[in-house]
Structure 1
């Protein structure tokens, strides 16, 4: 059985992404000026279609993350024991 974890800790999020080859990104065409837009963690090695994502700095990523009061919901391993890249952003309670 796989379980999910939830955090707003920047170092924990960066470490989780780094271990999986993930980089901070936003959906192209979203946001403007100071607004980074719709956030994503992008896994270039696992994606053939990345035309809709644009890599951004961790600084810009976490600025938007905090402004929108988000938490990071993520999975360490799939039910078969393999490393998981499942994640999503949810509103902080």
Structure 2
């Protein structure tokens, strides 16, 4: 039940985020040559880093250009929705 999944499918990623009220975002100041820098999701009710909301098209264009994979979890072991997610590059080894 708490297994993570990996996808590059835009519809799956967008649906997962929208079910949690999350919006595509970037970390201000991380842009380079007019391109988005750090990709994130802005979840309602969570503090921390100040994120700048961006459009889905721009977010996915950056996601695709970097050939990223989206690792995510649908539910926690107790059955509640999970916000766990991570963007990974498939060619970088994980420890």
What is the TM-score with the length of structure 2 in the denominator? 0.88
Find the counterpart in structure 1 of residue 60 from structure 2.
62
Mapping of residues 43-58 of structure 1, within 5 Å: 43=43, 45-51=44-50, 53-58=51-56
Tell me how far apart the structure 2 counterparts of residues 40 and 48 of structure 1 sit (CA, whole Å): 13
Tell me how far apart the structure 2 counterparts of residues 9 and 34 of structure 1 sit (CA, whole Å): 25
Classify the secondary structure of the residue corresponding to 1:46. Answer: coil
Mapping of residues 1-93 of structure 1, within 5 Å: 2-43=2-43, 45-51=44-50, 53-92=51-90
Give structure 2 stretches of 5+ with no counterpart: none
Tell me how far apart the structure 1 counterparts of residues 47 and 38 of structure 2 sit (CA, whole Å): 20
Give structure 1 stretches of 5+ with no counterpart: none
Give 1:33 shift.
4.1
RMSD between aligned residues: 1.4
Give 1:49 shift.
3.3
Give every structure 1 segment of 4 or more consecutive aligned residues whose post-TM-superposition deviation is greater than 6 Å: none
Cα deviation code 1:3-61 (max 9, x no counterpart):
00000000110000000001000011001344111100110x2313352x100000110
Tell me how far apart the structure 2 counterparts of residues 92 and 58 of structure 1 sit (CA, whole Å): 22
Between Structure 1 and Structure 2, which shows a larger proportion of strand residues? 1
